[in-house]
Chain A
Amino acid sequence: MRRRRRKAPGDVELNLAAMLDMAFQLLAFFIFTFKPAPVEGQLLLHLPPAQAVTKVAANPNQPGGRSAAPPPAEMNALMLSVLSASSGDVGALKFGTSVLFQGPANKNSLARLDKKLKEALASPTSPFDQVTLQIGPKLRYSELMKIVDVCLKQQLPDGKPLTKISFVELPSGADL
């Protein structure tokens, strides 16, 4: 059986109640300010300064007669045009000057884009080291991220991942 130690007359006992009060106050503060942050991811991009687009060719197929300017030859940028529908979804995607798909960006259309980008960027003779996205002004951020996501999955001929992407806003008449 444990024997209780007898208090010596000169023993000093710490009063823990005050310390406990303070600890409870700290605890209350941390409990009230605790807000678990959602687990967010991110897509890292190196966005070079915007290039001036000077050549705007008239295109009779586009409403308003305007279209995206062709990429300047010295830029080595692969040009993708993402036209937006009035709902904010992808209306059509042009790979260079040819239409790759029309309608919303779903799994199939994104797989086609992925394949096409691989062919254009991973080839050893590929002149491209960046992608320029010409985007319709109404395109929703969530739709844009789908396209950017596919672009960031690409690799350049030297094996490095593609991170250089530029955004150019299409004139509002270029929307579908």
Chain B
Amino acid sequence: MSASMSHGANAEPNLTPMLDMVFQLVTFFMLVINFKGAAMDLSLKLPVVGSARPVDAKGKEELLVLNIDHEGQLKVYGEPKPDVKGYIAEEARSYVAAAKQKDGNFQTGDSLPAIVVIRADQATPFELLNRVIKTCQDHGFQDFALKAMNRPQ
């Protein structure tokens, strides 16, 4: 750069306030980001039940989120799972292994320390829903959370 140019009007913007503002925005988005949202299939129309309560895990931190569409197809993290029994059995095995590691007295066949969160479309017939619930029960899951909306969207 020539010396004559550097002696001209030096108009460098002060970037500090802009950086402050951007960091505040970044902080906001970091706080409101919801990684669990990826487990939800937002194309499903949940039923509306006025008394549905917000999520309460009852001390059980493990949630197995199962999305079931109106044709009874199981989707987990957006991926269809045609082999429902195989998938649930695999999940149950991993929960059993984790429970045994945590609690030495845990026996195979005990109620698994996880809540099965069922997100089913409001038009899903019971026979298709019941297949999934029954498979979960057969593999030791006993606590279920049936998802619904508090008010119509």
Given contacts A23-B26, A44-B143, 13 further A-B contacts (CB under 8 A): A30-B30, A42-B56, A42-B146, A43-B52, A46-B142, A47-B133, A135-B130, A139-B125, A140-B124, A141-B120, A141-B125, A149-B52, A172-B127
Contact across chains for A146 and B49 when beta carbons are under 8 A apart:
yes
The interface stretch among B17-25, B75-83, B91-99, B100-108 is B17-25
CB < 8 Å neighbour of B54 from A23, A41, A140, A169: A41
Whether, in the assembled complex, A125 has its beta carbon less than 8 Å from a beta carbon of chain B, the answer is no
CB < 8 Å neighbour of B144 from A41, A47, A138: A47
- The interface size bin for chain A is 35 or more
Could you name 14 residue pairs across A and B whose Cβ atoms are closer than 8 Å?
Answer: A23-B22, A30-B26, A37-B36, A39-B150, A40-B119, A40-B150, A42-B147, A43-B51, A46-B142, A47-B133, A47-B143, A139-B125, A139-B126, A141-B123
Q: How far is the CB of A4 from chain B (nearest CB, A)?
A: 11
Complexed CA–CA distance, A36 and B36 (Å): 11
Complexed CA–CA distance, A137 and B52 (Å): 24
Contact across chains for B121 and A141 when beta carbons are under 8 A apart:
yes
Q: How far is the CB of A113 from chain B (nearest CB, A)?
A: 14
Whether, in the assembled complex, A27 has its beta carbon less than 8 Å from a beta carbon of chain B, the answer is yes
Shortest 6 CB-CB distances between A and B: which pairs?
A: A41-B52, A30-B29, A137-B127, A142-B47, A142-B122, A16-B15
Q: Is the interface of B mostly helix, strand, loop or mixed?
A: mixed
Whether, in the assembled complex, A124 has its beta carbon less than 8 Å from a beta carbon of chain B, the answer is no
B119 surroundings in chain A (CB, below 8 A) = 40
B interface residue numbers (CB < 8 A to A): 15-16, 18-19, 22-23, 25-26, 29-30, 32-34, 36-37, 40, 42, 46-56, 58, 115, 117, 119-127, 129-130, 133-134, 137-138, 142-150, 153
Contact across chains for A43 and B146 when beta carbons are under 8 A apart:
yes
Contact across chains for B148 and A144 when beta carbons are under 8 A apart:
no
